[in-house]
Amino acid sequence: MTVSVLTASILLLHLLGIFAAMHAVMHTRTPQGAIGWALGLLLLPYVTLLPYLYLGSIRFRGYLTRHQARLPSSSQANVDENASAAGCARFAAVSALQGRPFRGRHRLRLLIDGEAAFDAMLAAMAAAEHCLLVQFFIFHDDNLGRRVQQLLLQRAAAGVRVCVLFDGVGSHDLPGHYVDTLRAGGVAIHPFATRRWRNRFQLNFRNHRKIVVVDGACAFVGGLNVGDEYLGLKPPLAPWRDTQLELRGPVVTDLQQLFAEDWQWITGAPPPLLPSPPCDGDADALIVASGPADAQETCSLFFTAAINAARERVWLSTPYFVPDHAVLAALRLAVLRGVDVRVLIPARPDHRTVFLATTLHAHHALRAGIRMFRYQPGFLHQKALLIDNDSAAIGSMNLDSRSFRLNFEVNALVVDRAFAGEVATMLTADFSRARAIDEREYLDAPYLRRVAMHVARLFDPLL
């Protein structure tokens, strides 16, 4: 009897593996991924079925329907009447991809590292009078996390409508009492997750965005989360190198709408939204949002289009350098055009597998003429892109498959010579604290470490 039950169980698992393999062949984005999943599901279903349940889906289906129904038409103008058509025209494809135009008259502030960024964000949040929208991938219950918690409670007690989103997986160690305290104090707070039972436990489809909007007038985007490590207080990754951007102007409305899309998916109701007041700045800006609900791979296409627009320089700062074929081809073509292409990556790992894959990709990039650098003082978490002398982007997008295809991300693309000059000055200082990588880094590595790099690269679609 026991043998019969065991046999039936094995046959059932193999049958489920066949159906899952058919699903993988039909729906996995790349041939390599389809082959890998299909072989594993057919040959070892008792090992691969559970991982496929958590990692195999590539689309956020329910969100997809809502998201595409609300997208504006891509036939809209690429530039509004207040923006500089000449400066923004190079990025017309990005604007069309977003279905929204570049907007003009922004005032911006570049916030370098955690102390400056959180001083600015907490001061703006403390001044909120009507509405406060806060979204981070990670909240920690540490000193910074409790400072943010107390500020949110104070604003809620003052009658401000406070809405908070955090990612359920990114904030997996956030204790329940942290959230309960906020709710008891009048703060509306929710984890970002899906509503369907299977995807509730998805490791993919994480909301990696960092957005703060104060009274519809001031907004922040960038790479920082809420935790002491982002202030550089946790060795061995300290000091922590990161960048945030403060925006005032019409794109604050776009960031509110982006937050509202996520909020309505979770709660079923819109958050409070306020009109953005007029601004007298000079910068043109476009909010670039991406995620698994997009019909196309928006994040990868954004980097590809931006790099292809460069004629003088492409300077990139990213903690994870796992480019797909399109982005790597764009970087190679930029080198062939005579563009100064530099990529800044960390010297210290926070995720070993990604670090190993990054090291191998850096070696291949060097062979294509791309200049690679490792930032020395601490961990580099900054996501910054500089194009020529007039354009720059700051946000949450990494150069890896998670940002390209699996995470919800947001960047602010700015066309303005003064702002690009600030970013150039910042990155020049970063490169001065970096070590240029040469081929010896890979060639002199022990053989088993090089094998580990190539094994890590096999997991590129999941990194």
Catalytic annotation, pick one of 67, 106, 140, 208: 208
The one-character DSSP state at 271 is: P
Distance CA 268, CA 76 (A): 28
For the chain, helix, strand, coil in percent to 5 are 45, 20, 30
Does the active-site annotation cover 388? yes
Residue 69: band (very low, low, confident or very high) from pLDDT cuts 50, 70, 90: very low
pLDDT digits (tens, 9 = 90+) for 269-293: 999 999 999 999 999 999 999 998 8
Distance CA 251, CA 458 (A): 39
pLDDT digits (tens, 9 = 90+) for 101-129: 999 999 999 999 999 999 999 999 999 99
If you average pLDDT over residues 10-24, what whole number do you get?
80
Residue limits of CATH 3.30.870.10 in the chain: 62-72+107-281, 298-462
Q: Does domain 298-462 have CATH number 3.90.1150.10?
A: no
Kindly tell me if the per-residue pLDDT of 9 is higher than 90.
Answer: no
Catalytic annotation, pick one of 284, 294, 388, 390: 388
Q: Which CATH number applies to 62-72+107-281: 3.40.50.1000, 3.20.20.190, 1.10.3720.10, 3.30.870.10?
A: 3.30.870.10
Catalytic annotation, pick one of 113, 215, 294, 460: 215
pLDDT in the model for residue 39? 79
pLDDT in the model for residue 197? 42
Catalytic annotation, pick one of 106, 140, 361, 381: 381
Catalytic annotation, pick one of 67, 140, 210, 361: 210
Give the phi and the psi of residue 289 in degrees, each rounded to 5.
Answer: -110, 140
86 vs 195, residue with greater confidence: 86
Please name every residue paired with 245 in a beta bridge, in sequence order, or none if there are none.
110, 221
Does the active-site annotation cover 234? no
Distance CA 66, CA 435 (A): 46
pLDDT in the model for residue 59? 55
What beta strand segments (E) does 113-214 contain? 131-136, 161-167, 188-192, 211-214
Does the active-site annotation cover 242? no
**Global pTM value:** 0.88
Catalytic annotation, pick one of 106, 140, 361, 383: 383
